[in-house]
Structure 1
Amino acid sequence: MKNLLVLGGALVALPMLVPQWARAQGPVAGTVTDARSGTALPGATVLLDGAVVGATDAAGAFTVPVVPTGSHELRITFVGYEALARPLQGQTAEQRLALGLQASGVLTGEALVTASRANDRTATAYTNLDRQDLAKRNFGQDIPYLLDQTPSVVVNSDGGAGVGYTDIRIRGTSNTGINMTINGVPLNDAESHGSFLVNLPDLASSVSSLQVQRGVGTSQNGGAAFGASINISTFDARREAYAETQNTYGSFDTWKNNVSFGTGLLGGHFTVDGRLSRIATDGYMNRAASDLKSYYFSAGYQGKNTLLKFITFSGREKTYQSWNGVPEPLLTGNRALLQQFIDNGELSEADAARGLREGRRYSYYTYDNQTDNYQQNHYQLHLSQGLGTDWNLGAALHLTRGFGYYESYRANRKLTNYGLDNVVLRDTTITRTNLIDQKWLDNYFYGGTFALNYQPKANDKLQATIGGAWNRFENDHYGEVIWAQYASNGNIRHRYYFNDAVKTDYHGYARATWQVLPRLSIYGDMQVRHIQYNLDGVENQDSIGTHVSYTFVNPKAGATFSLSEGQLLYASYAVGQREPVRADFTDRPAGDASAKAERLNDVEAGYRISRPEASVFGPNTALRFEANYFYMSYRNQLVATGRLNDVGTALRTNVRRSYRTGLELTGYVAANDLISLSSTLTLSRNRILNYRDVTYDADFLPVEAAEARTTTISYSPSVVSAHTLEGQPLKGLRVALLYKTVGEQFLDNSASANKRIAPYQVLDFRLRYTIKPVFVKEIELGLLVNNVLNREYVANGYTYGYPGADGRQQTFNFYFPQATRNFLASVGVKF
């Protein structure tokens, strides 16, 4: 209640900060649409006398709050459209404009990603973010943290501060169930299905637009969207040359430095853009440092009907391993529980003593190079070709090269587990040793994608796309011992396991929307996907082998009905299916059946209203609201058991029947670009039917299955909300309060009160101040204060258990504490 009072007080007080002179000015407001179809154009750039003063929102609406008296030029630009310049006379009274942009006839990179993006006709729930939306949130934290205020999103960070290894869940689904693409090219790792954005630090600084689809959504390239998809575009046709730098410093010795540049349009046809970035931090947790470097480079040619663009980007990360979390008694101070950890060998006496000193920032590892080291290089070649007046083709070739290793100190390990002979010294046989090993990944991911789009200019009642992709993933897994106290018959870089995986994935889809009646549109989408996965070799001194193939048929259909201008009803049904990940085959407990493919039947239905001007709330007020109901029914869903393997990957098991259902409410209201409030609230029920909770012995062999019952799916809060209150008390100064709440979560599927993540609420404060001195185009000063109320909370964890010395089942919980109050301050300069 106290937090709600703080937020409510801010709602009342912030308008009082707006100076009276700003209120007295006559603003200019309006909408920007496609001149032919009338479709809103979100993200269009608004310039007054050559200076950027804003961008259109999701409804195509914009407001210029202050226009001085005299003559001015209002200019609107949007990728793929001719710029529109309009003379404007400043005056006291409000001016409202309706502006229609003409398609430029010059293809742009955005045409290559729109084939997989949702719109009002595809009858599904989605959120669009443009470059400006991401820029105001970007202080150097990973992309999941930039999406924290979007519906149904929960984020967490191993290191506690949003830099390094971070994770995102949408509707309770982890990133292994979230399809991610960059320019239509799959980003998810083909074996683990995870999208490790730590490998692409500061990618957000090169993103021009991003769409989050919730549920199955439209057909995507790559793995299935089993809870959501995140479609990222780095195409940005900036016609004017630019150079800029962003620099951030903050708590835990966190640094972000980057430089970006672009030539603009050279000779009417050529563009070159680039970025260099470095992000480094010590992390909130002890010994949770990250050192991240990246680059982005693109070169393109565009003509009237052709666009050819080469894009390459890369990231190299070195992060200290912090995926072990903190034992529960170090957070609670429960000495009896701490003794249980000691008695059962989960903590040594020395580690427990150190843990009591370090508290919630405790890190299990102390070896100075206990690190994760990985580099990922991406290469993409994109072609967009106009084919007459109504057709265009988008195609891409891609190659991703990844390689790196975990380096770990291992204490008292059996020599035979590493393929080493026991050491015999006279009457003594040494069977164990301390050692340092490296676990390597060395992979290539390559293939091609295409989308043939039918978009008639004369009549847009029917629009259609035929697309598909072929991708291949080759990955070598191997381990090497680089040092051992007793090396036995080993040499430096003694290789103790090797296995290789090959995965081929190809699919095709056809999609169409048809305006049946002036107010009624129907949508259909059919995808056929085939996967072949082969894994062979040795792991843990045992032979492993997996040879599976799958063919999935995924239909989707929906309808939208326009109640009036800006008001829409929609409903859809979609099927998603996906294969198990590598760990589902290699890390399953003994006695479990082979991992099964999952199936999701997704029903979405909602109401959406978007009004650039909503007189019911007073003049010069913009309003958006959406209510979306979802019912996601699963067969053989792979749910987290709460346990992790030795490199921090969540272990999962199939459950025959389960579902997620809920209501997502999102709203936005703004007045004169002086004050705005956006809110999202998700209320959901996430259940497994007829679930049998299995307990394990000390060797993790199943020994007991409880009576079948209905239970809550792990890591699935029933309440998630996010609220952003933002105001502009002075010209160029924007301040915001960001409030996040996440309900109770369980670490496994037992819904046990002693294996849970407590609900938490977090309040952040953000400030950005822009000035335009004569010697540079713009200087922006920024400040982000995270966790203003200094809450001690955890956002993730894991659990396991087995019988203790007394024969009773013991539970061991580990948690990932998030940082208490901390700050990031930034300076950005545009030349």
Structure 2
Amino acid sequence: MKLINKSMLSAVITLSTASVYYAQQVQDTVKDTRSKDIEQVVLTGVADIAKDRKTPVAVSTIKAAQIVERLGNQELPEILNTTPSVYVTKGGGGFGDASIRIRGFGNSNIAVMINGMPVNDMENGAVYWSNWAGLADVTSAIQVQRGLGSSKLAIASVGGTMNYVTKSADKKREGIVNIGVGNDGYHKASFAYNTGKSATGWSSSFLLGRTAGAMYINGSDFEAYNYYFALGYQPNKKHDLQFTLTGAPQWHNQNFTNTIGTYIKYGNGVDPNRRYNSNWGLLNGEQFSTNTNYYSKPIMSINWDWNISSKSKLSTVGYASFGRGGGTGFLGSINGNNVFSNKLKDANGQIRWDDIVTWNQGGLVADFTNNTGAAPLNATPGIATRNNGLVRRAHVNSHNWYGILSNFQHKLNDNWNFSVGIDARYYFGYHPGVITDFLGNNQYRENQNLNTQPYYVVNQSYNATPSANPFAKAIKDDSQIASRNYNGEVLWYGAFGQVEYSNDKISAFAQGSLSNQAFQRIDNWVIDGVTKQQGQVVNTKTGFKDILGYNAKGGINYNINEVHNVFANIGYYSRQPFLTAVYPNNQQVVNPNLTNEKIFSAELGYGLRLSNFKANVNLYRTSWADRFQRRTNLTITDANGTVFQNAYAEVNGITEVHSGVEFEAFYKLGNYVELEGALSWGDWRYKGDASSVSYDENNNPINVAAGNNVSTLALDGAKVGDAAQFTTSLVAIIKPAKGLRIFANWRYFNQLYAGFNVNDFDNSRNSATYTAPATEFGSLELPSYSLFDLGASYKFTIKGGQSFTIGANVYNLFDTTYISESTSNIHANQTRRNFAAGASGDSAFAAYQAAGTWKGISQQNQVYFGFGRTWAANLTFTF
């Protein structure tokens, strides 16, 4: 990453030394490395932006020029992969399915902000990057604050805070046309124009774009649009108003993990087929996927900055978001085979959709056999149920979200200032299910609505594409809902305050916030006062469950001289759990073990600033107790050996301790070479054991032990998975001629552990002949890997200040084959005693032995492989 000091970054700041809570202009002024991407950036509203050698937090800043230069056809979070303690993967490889971890904490525990506004889902904290793919085109800067950060809000910043600063309406007058192409039919086009500020204080900016094609994996077609509009008005020096609207409607086909053996089976028998995707096949000659995500989530905001006096300022932002869309899956089976069964796939491992349609309509498909080897005809042609016939459904996840943030700042004197504010939000989530394709059936019979027994008929289908109307109803006809029908409601209101002190040497702050979150679950399929769940009588509406939370943070920075500075911060969060923890198992009963998550963090840092060399180093420790986690898309085998696909588990009582060291540096060698380096080492472990409850995709308990679906997980001391605990990177930028930039990026990842499956650490299975693998082996360590990217760009100016920029990137230049994630924890050196007693254990052990290994990893592990060599190129015209 680039480190910045006074000679590199000039900022107009009038409020805070520990954090900027009002308008800021940022301009890069380094000779020959000038970057106009954040020239005249104005942050209106309530964005907490850290300041170098002032704010006592670990921070990295990515500017728009780096995004344009390096991103290409990658996912937006991937631009952060050279930041210490950041691990970004492409997930399943679908468009926008990237996943980011900071210091070992995942998406749901990283606060994502747009101009200071929180965007993490209010029900589960998740961030779906496909909904924000358009940010790459309108972002002026990304600031990543690792750890609890400087935000005053009670937000999910366990691992860190990412603040995306978008372009303002009063950016200088210019237009930009961009055309891009990439591997596998990827293409992108966009047009943007900024009017600049008029003499009367008005300004506007807009962008329109479209991206389509496919990703590296097979069956990954997608189409996405992007729009952005900003309108600014500054009638005088006291008032500044900015309105923004941005959205990115999209649909994309997805991919799930497969076993290493499956990738090899559909490769050449030795090397894995990294492009393999088990979710799709051809239907009438067209690509058709079990899992298509479709969504539109426009967000609009009005920012008002009021300079009350030379010492006082009020910043307020009101915002609203209207999410519409969902994700598809399937309902039903054919002769006991679900859609992922090998019996329903062809020799290439793709789903035989045309044959499924034939069977659904009553035709005979000879090899669609049941467990006895027979191929019976469909007993009810054209009529699908949960147990007979296949249809594709979508689980809708629409919402209306409204919020207001207001912050008052007052400067007491040259050294002291304070700020106070409010944070209020209201969220209503709609979660019905609909049929998106009957696959040859005429109807689907839904029997889960207790108000309409024994069943009712669904014969209306919906397209798995986003609505162009953000105000459209989540579903048009309540009588045509299938699979599920519940809503979630969240009320959030809180207050925060901060006191700051600064002089030429010292800057310090103390801040705190208090918030109440009220959760309500609404199940439209239960009968008020009659239905029982978990032995309790329940109602359609649970009533609001109020949960109080708070945080307290403080920090100090000391500038020893112009070269050296040190800082420290400490903080404690009592954070409310998510809605899924309040009402586990998708039911109307409040979790009897409900408790706030408790996060304690401390950090020390040192900074060095020389004319051509800059470096930061910091130490951190974060303890996270009483954590609740829902793990989805699992493959779970019950005590009888039955395998459940798309299962999930509720895990209670998790405690994690994350500690480590981070280093980053920037070195400028003359006018022609720049070097950026980063290194991070972490020790992230579970502390104590936890418990897990397993369910199939229809919310039925899975008995992982005889008569019991509750497992004790022997997690104590196990390494936390899903992110590399040792990372290092080196970026070299060479400028051999005016306008020409050549850059290379090398990254190395080590100590990467598998994300645990609930059964992997199941201590309840221990016996004289059967020992849980985790008890003996701990977390599965995956092979380390290195990646090398190469790129170049050339900018030439024509008359009138207009310019063309040509750029090209190659990612994973040496086509390295590597595992980026594993969702299972199967070790390669297990013995017979690690499997259940009896015939089922004999069979499981024989299958384990037959699977063999790949690079020392059991081929039975469910993994994602990273992309092979990919490329992108673009042409930009600026006028």
Q: TM-score, normalised by structure 1?
A: 0.78
Equivalence for 2:346 = none
Aligned equivalents of 1:308, 1:472: Cα separation in 2: 23
Equivalence for 2:851 = none
1:766-781 equivalent positions in 2, closer than 5 A: 766-774=791-799, 777-781=802-806
> Contact 2:741–2:793 at 8 Å: present in 1 too?
yes
How far the C-alpha of 1:706 sits from its partner, in A, is: 6.3
1:281-680 equivalent positions in 2, closer than 5 A: 281-302=213-234, 303-322=236-255, 324-331=256-263, 359-366=273-280, 368-370=288-290, 371-412=292-333, 431-455=387-411, 460-482=414-436, 483=438, 485=441, 487-488=444-445, 489-493=456-460, 494-496=480-482, 497-515=484-502, 518-537=504-523, 547-584=544-581, 594=593, 596-611=595-610, 613=611, 622-638=612-628, 644=634, 653-680=651-678
CA-to-aligned-CA distance 1:137-177 (integer Å, 9 cap, x gap): 2324322012111121111113538x421111111111100
> Contact 1:583–1:651 at 8 Å: present in 2 too?
no
Q: 1:783 to 1:573 in 2, by over 3 A?
A: same
Aligned equivalents of 1:589, 1:160: Cα separation in 2: 28
Equivalence for 1:177 = 109
> Contact 1:558–1:573 at 8 Å: present in 2 too?
yes
Give the number of aligned pairs: 716
> Contact 1:396–1:449 at 8 Å: present in 2 too?
yes
Equivalence for 1:682 = 680
> What's the RMSD between the two structures over aligned residues?
3.9
> Contact 2:718–2:779 at 8 Å: present in 1 too?
no
How far the C-alpha of 1:446 sits from its partner, in A, is: 0.4
How far the C-alpha of 1:109 sits from its partner, in A, is: 4.3
Q: Give percent identity, aligned residues only.
A: 18
Could you say which structure has the higher strand fraction? Answer: 1
SS of residue matched to 1:189 = coil
1:112 aligns with 2:45: yes
Which is further off, 124-133 or 376-385?
A: 124-133
1:243 aligns with 2:175: yes
> Contact 1:245–1:828 at 8 Å: present in 2 too?
yes
Which is further off, 446-455 or 634-643?
A: 634-643
Aligned equivalents of 2:268, 2:711: Cα separation in 1: 36
CA-to-aligned-CA distance 1:39-62 (integer Å, 9 cap, x gap): 99999777xxxxxxxx24xxxxx1
1:621-770 equivalent positions in 2, closer than 5 A: 622-638=612-628, 644=634, 653-691=651-689, 699-700=703-704, 701-702=708-709, 705=712, 709-743=716-750, 744-748=752-756, 750=761, 752=777, 755-770=780-795
How far the C-alpha of 1:135 sits from its partner, in A, is: 2.6
1:178-257 equivalent positions in 2, closer than 5 A: 178-221=110-153, 223-236=155-168, 238-257=170-189
How far the C-alpha of 1:284 sits from its partner, in A, is: 1.2
SS of residue matched to 1:530 = strand
Alignment gaps of 5+ in structure 2: 1-5, 282-287, 339-377, 446-455, 461-479, 636-643, 695-700, 762-773, 827-834, 849-859
Aligned equivalents of 2:586, 2:622: Cα separation in 1: 28
> Contact 1:595–1:654 at 8 Å: present in 2 too?
no
Aligned equivalents of 1:220, 1:278: Cα separation in 2: 36
Could you tell me which of 85, 88, 98 is aligned with 1:155? Answer: 88
Q: 1:470 to 1:414 in 2, by over 3 A?
A: farther
Letter paired with 2:31: T
Equivalence for 1:420 = none
Aligned equivalents of 1:134, 1:492: Cα separation in 2: 47
> Contact 1:285–1:363 at 8 Å: present in 2 too?
yes
Letter paired with 2:72: F
Aligned equivalents of 2:247, 2:800: Cα separation in 1: 33
Aligned equivalents of 2:630, 2:405: Cα separation in 1: 32
1:816 aligns with 2:831: no
CA-to-aligned-CA distance 1:267-321 (integer Å, 9 cap, x gap): 2511110011112231111112221111000111013111111110111110112
Aligned equivalents of 1:197, 1:278: Cα separation in 2: 16
Aligned equivalents of 2:875, 2:396: Cα separation in 1: 38
Equivalence for 2:476 = none
SS of residue matched to 1:252 = helix
Equivalence for 1:783 = 808
> Contact 2:316–2:405 at 8 Å: present in 1 too?
yes
> Contact 1:640–1:714 at 8 Å: present in 2 too?
no
Q: 1:793 to 1:539 in 2, by over 3 A?
A: farther
How far the C-alpha of 1:685 sits from its partner, in A, is: 0.5
How far the C-alpha of 1:77 sits from its partner, in A, is: 9.8
CA-to-aligned-CA distance 1:379-437 (integer Å, 9 cap, x gap): 1111011011111111011110011122334441799x9xxxxx9879x9995222222
Aligned equivalents of 2:513, 2:687: Cα separation in 1: 29
> Contact 1:584–1:653 at 8 Å: present in 2 too?
no
Which is further off, 445-454 or 713-722?
A: 713-722
Aligned equivalents of 1:256, 1:723: Cα separation in 2: 29
> Contact 2:513–2:551 at 8 Å: present in 1 too?
yes
Q: 1:411 to 1:641 in 2, by over 3 A?
A: closer
Q: 1:44 to 1:261 in 2, by over 3 A?
A: same
> Contact 1:179–1:225 at 8 Å: present in 2 too?
yes
Aligned equivalents of 1:158, 1:608: Cα separation in 2: 34
SS of residue matched to 1:710 = coil
Aligned equivalents of 2:269, 2:522: Cα separation in 1: 41
Equivalence for 1:5 = none
SS of residue matched to 1:121 = coil
Letter paired with 2:672: L
Which is further off, 175-184 or 233-242?
A: 233-242
Letter paired with 1:714: G
> Contact 2:108–2:156 at 8 Å: present in 1 too?
no
> Contact 1:155–1:795 at 8 Å: present in 2 too?
no
Q: 1:34 to 1:232 in 2, by over 3 A?
A: closer
Aligned equivalents of 1:127, 1:772: Cα separation in 2: 31
Letter paired with 1:625: A
